[in-house]
Amino acid sequence: MTSTAQDLHPAPVLEPGRTILELQGLEKKYPGTHALKPVTLAFKAGEIHAIVGENGAGKSTLIKLLTGVMPRTSGEVIWEGKPAALATPHEAMALGINAVHQEVVLCRHLTVAANMFLGEENSRFGILQQRAMVKEAQKIIDDLGFDLPAHVVLGDLTIGQQQLIAAARATVRGTKFLIFDEPTAYLTRKEADQLFTLIRRLKSEGVTIIYISHRMEEVFELADRVSVLRDGTLVGTRNIAETNDAELVKLMINRSIEQIYHKEHFTPGAAIIETKSLSGKGFENVSMAVRAGEIVGLYGLIGAGRSEFVTTVYGRHRKSAGQILWEGKDVQINSEHDAIRLGMALAPESRRDQGLCLNLPVGFNLNLPIYKRISNNLLISGVQEKTQADRQIADLRIKTPTRNALASSLSGGNQQKIVIGKWLAHGAKLFIFDEPTVGVDVGTKAEIYRLFSALLSKGAGIILISSYLPEVYELADTLHVFRRGKLVATHGFRTADHEEILTQALAEKQEKLGGQI
Amino acid sequence: MSTEAIPAEKPKRNYNALFGLTLLALLVLLWVILSVATSSFASANNISNLLRQGSMIAILAVGQTFVIITGGIDLSVGAVVGFATVIAAMLINAGIPVFLAILITLLVGVAIGLFHGFGIVKMGLPPFIITLATLTSLRGIGLLMTNGNSISINNDAFQVFSRNSFLGVPNLFWMVILVGIPAYVFLHHSRWGRYLFSVGSNAEASRLSGVNVQRTIYMAYTLSGLCAAFVGVLLASRIGIGNPTQAEGWELQAIASSVIGGTSLFGAVGSVHGPLLGAFILATINNGANLLNVNAFWQRIITGVLIIVIVYFDGLRRRGGK
């Protein structure tokens, strides 16, 4: 450890193992919702404490209370032996409580260094000491082992790299208690490893970490203890050594793990789409087919060409060579519009940027692809608009007060159901799901997978893109592995093991995979 | 934000309708106060006058609202009005039948709107920039065409129209109804209206859902240009001249009416009735201030303060539910 890091993290006043933060009957009620039922829990100094639970289980509420974003309804928070009000974010930060959020909340147009020191700029006589700040920031970044420049504009980095910067930023302010909220949702494996190194290092310096994640393997990799929330109730805290996957999942959802990957096999029908030696920006010479009733999984690292391949098929980008056959006929797909007209549907990777009109109602979002069908030449049928939306909400079990609630007011899992569900009424034949379960909890995942089966049973075909191997492994009838823009291997349902697939996806060692996208 | 639920919100009420009602209440309140405070406000003559004053901005505001809902802005509408008066005047004076002259003028408005769409969609220019460019250059083109002079229109029938009434209501106000009803149906009951909202909310998500985003943008600016050209025809009829420098600053009044009417400049929020009410609230304030002998300079200040107050309370109400 270098001296800089020492300066940045003043030695903790508490020796490891003592209680640093204690919740006594902490409770939060909103009008109509009991978001967090009285929680009593003690965090030990220098531990990594994972918190898991489904969407809506109360994790975010807990974070908001701890970081002073919202006031609690009742209960006590004891910080280092003294009651703390935690009424404002400022107070929480002054105590040394910080959070790194799933979505990066930094200024994309400023440089990395400017972001690192935002609000605590180094200036002399009112003039910013830019060079000194860049140097200082670079030192911190290097010191943390991130291979990133401090002088570039933040927006030029990948989301994953921005996340690392956000984490680095949170560590330089006398932080004693750091909350990570789903930090790896958008990270590549390499970036995630860097983040884990950072987290372990903070722990060794006595910082207490709360780690929130949907990914069980990360919880087991990192955490010392794990607490499970379900419906706003703390249902258990375990030492990581004394528990396992199955137990945690059971606690979270009251359901066993085999029930999550719900896989039904259908006899594949005729090919819906076929590509022959298709090439385009970011991929080349890909030949594959999707038949009615099957799930074709595309696995590979981010930047391996999977997303580029499907967006080209979907008409977003022009192909440079090769052929696309739709139901046996050669077709030209020049726009998304063409693709949709043929009968394709794409649920994109980023629901906030690409999937939803957040400030419009749920019903509106669900009906968006079918407005043409539920209107005559001039007018929309108000009755159909209502019944279609209500039926989708019921079928998909979307948790929303009414179809008129704004999409932004729903939880991530329910938003994802809208992104997927809006295509059901449309009656597409080929569904493309790009990372459909990122940032979605186990329960919603299971529902989404069940939806897949429902689609297949109606004769649809599915292309499933995922960076999460168990997902494609357990669901795909045909699994294609992508590496550096090429289709390098093809497997049947569970015909290869994880190791083999991983090796094929990685092959030439991990070069700078994180920086590509 | 994590993926967790923000507390289940109360069912979202139809704020548009509600806001429309409170605006209507504000308008009625202003009318009651002015009727009591001045002897002349409630006269048939003055009311007709007020309706005439508000009508043209109201129509502009409707077109403007379409554009703002997509997340854009149309700064050119005032200049289009002035330019349209010139076109209409020249055509009528050239002996072209009035209906044909009006049609051609409207087509010019459509062409200007298409040009805006082209600039935004094909050239990638921000709406603010392309419409700002048209704002200045259209006035210039008009001045070139007229050599800087006003063109008197020699057609009495054309001019009489805007002064006459039908069933006791000024013809100009009938024009608001003529525009308003189709606009309402279009925005709130047709899929193209829905697409305006969806593009304003998230263009990428709309595209992926099969909405033709480019066409939607073309449509919004074309409708705004059409409304502006129509207002140009009405203005030419009302004052009987074609002059490219007329309607100076009307774009700002149209935007103000739209915003007072509950339209969000960030897009995806707006209605047709809101801007109409907004336009007549502004007209009432100006009319009332005149009757009360308030200094014309003060009228501008009052208008500015009112915009802040109304939009502030609107924002409070929207946030109030959370």
Token duo for residue A148: 């990133």
What's the gap in Å between the CA of B188 and the closest CA on chain A?
9
Query: How large is the average pLDDT for residues B40-64?
Result: 90
Contact A409 B8 (CB under 8 A): yes
Q: Name the DSSP class of A187.
A: -
Spatial distance between the Cα atoms of A70 and A63, rounded to a whole number of angstroms: 9
- Find the closest chain B residue to A409 by CA distance: B6
pLDDT of A3: 41
The minimal CB distance from B189 to the residues A181, A358, A379 is found for: A379
pLDDT of B223: 96
Spatial distance between the Cα atoms of A287 and A268, rounded to a whole number of angstroms: 18
Spatial distance between the Cα atoms of B249 and B253, rounded to a whole number of angstroms: 7
Q: How large a percentage of chain A has pLDDT more than 90?
A: 9
Please report, to the nearest 10 degrees, the dihedral formed by the alpha carbons of residues A63, A67, A69, A75 taken in order.
70
A487 bridge partner residues: A482
Query: ipTM above 0.95?
Result: no
pLDDT of A33: 66
The minimal CB distance from B189 to the residues A348, A360, A380 is found for: A380
- Find the closest chain B residue to A358 by CA distance: B201
Q: Is A229 helix (H, G, I), strand (E, B) or coil?
A: strand
Contact B189 A382 (CB under 8 A): yes
Q: 């554009």: which residue's tokens?
A: B67
Residue A480 in contact with partner chain B when CB distance is under 8 A: no
Query: Which residue from A131, A125, A163 is spatially nearest to A150, judged by alpha carbons?
Result: A131
Interface test with chain B among A103, A186, A409, by most B beta carbons within 10 Å: A409
Q: How many CB atoms lie within 10 A of CB A359?
A: 18
Contacts of A476 (CB under 8 A, 6+ apart): A295, A296, A297, A464, A493
Q: 């209107």: which residue's tokens?
A: A375
Residues A280 and A309 sit within 8 Å (Cβ to Cβ) = yes
As a whole number of Å, the CA-based R_g of chain A is 24
- Find the closest chain B residue to A355 by CA distance: B205
Q: What φ, ψ does residue A321 adopt, rounded to 5°?
A: -160, 165
Residue A358 in contact with partner chain B when CB distance is under 8 A: yes
Domain limits of chain A? 3-259, 260-343+428-517, 356-426
The minimal CB distance from B7 to the residues A30, A348, A359 is found for: A30
| pLDDT, mean of each 10-residue run, chain A (517 residues) | 43 65 87 79 91 79 87 89 86 86 76 81 75 86 83 83 84 84 78 86 89 84 90 88 84 68 82 90 89 90 81 88 90 88 85 82 88 82 86 84 84 82 83 82 80 86 86 88 86 81 66 39
Report the Cα–Cα distance between both ends of chain A, in Å, rounded: 32
Q: How large a percentage of chain B has pLDDT more than 90?
A: 50
Conformation bin of residue A10: beta by default, left when phi > 0, alpha when psi is -120 to 50: beta
pLDDT of A9: 47
Cα distances (Å, whole numbers) of residue A414 to A28, A56, A58, A441? 22, 10, 15, 10
Contact B197 A357 (CB under 8 A): yes
The amino acid at residue B97 is: P
Spatial distance between the Cα atoms of B143 and B133, rounded to a whole number of angstroms: 16
Contact A380 B191 (CB under 8 A): yes
Q: Are strands A225-230 and A233-239 parallel, antiparallel or unpaired?
A: antiparallel
Query: Which residue from A358, A346, A352, A476 is spatially nearest to A422, judged by alpha carbons?
Result: A346
Contacts of B43 (CB under 8 A, 6+ apart): none
Residue A402 in contact with partner chain B when CB distance is under 8 A: yes
Spatial distance between the Cα atoms of B66 and B112, rounded to a whole number of angstroms: 16
* pLDDT of B119 over the 90 cut: yes
Residue A362 in contact with partner chain B when CB distance is under 8 A: no
Q: Which fold has domain A3-259?
A: Rossmann fold (3.40.50)
The angle that helices B44-69 and B77-93 make with each other, rounded to 10 degrees, is 120
What's the gap in Å between the CA of A57 and the closest CA on chain B?
7
Reported as a single tens digit per residue, the pLDDT across A262-316 is 778 888 888 899 999 999 888 888 999 999 999 999 988 767 788 889 989 998 8
Residues A397 and A55 sit within 8 Å (Cβ to Cβ) = no
Contact B206 A364 (CB under 8 A): no
Query: How large is the average pLDDT for residues B54-67?
Result: 95
Token duo for residue B37: 């405070």
Burial zone of A336 (CB within 10 Å; 0-12 exposed, 13-18 middle, 19+ buried): buried
The residues in A 259-298 lying below 8 A from B, measured between CB atoms, are none
Q: What φ, ψ does residue A335 adopt, rounded to 5°?
A: -155, 165
pLDDT of A439: 67
Q: How many CB atoms lie within 10 A of CB A402?
A: 15
Spatial distance between the Cα atoms of A268 and A291, rounded to a whole number of angstroms: 6
- Find the closest chain B residue to A345 by CA distance: B209
Residue A59 in contact with partner chain B when CB distance is under 8 A: yes
Q: 């200036």: which residue's tokens?
A: A123
Q: For A402-473, where are the E strands, in sequence order?
A: 430-434, 461-466
**Same-fold call for A3-259 versus A260-343+428-517:** yes
Reported as a single tens digit per residue, the pLDDT across A117-147 is 877 777 777 777 788 888 888 988 888 878 8
DSSP class per residue in B244-280: TT-STTHHHHHHHHHHHTT--TTSS---SHHHHHHHH
Residues B66 and B187 sit within 8 Å (Cβ to Cβ) = yes
The minimal CB distance from A32 to the residues B4, B8, B269 is found for: B8
Spatial distance between the Cα atoms of A390 and A413, rounded to a whole number of angstroms: 18
What's the gap in Å between the CA of A405 and the closest CA on chain B?
5
pLDDT of B16: 57
Cα A508 to its chain centre, rounded Å, is: 27
Residues A416 and A437 sit within 8 Å (Cβ to Cβ) = yes
Q: Is B143 helix (H, G, I), strand (E, B) or coil?
A: helix
Query: Which residue from B286, B271, B262, B247 is spatially nearest to B135, judged by alpha carbons?
Result: B247
What's the gap in Å between the CA of B197 and the closest CA on chain A?
8
Q: Which fold has domain A260-343+428-517?
A: Rossmann fold (3.40.50)
Q: Which of A120-124, B190-194, B215-219 has the lowest mean pLDDT?
A: A120-124
Query: How large is the average pLDDT for residues B117-121?
Result: 94
Residues A462 and A456 sit within 8 Å (Cβ to Cβ) = yes
Reported as a single tens digit per residue, the pLDDT across A321-379 is 898 999 888 998 888 888 888 889 888 877 777 888 888 888 888 888 888 888 887 78
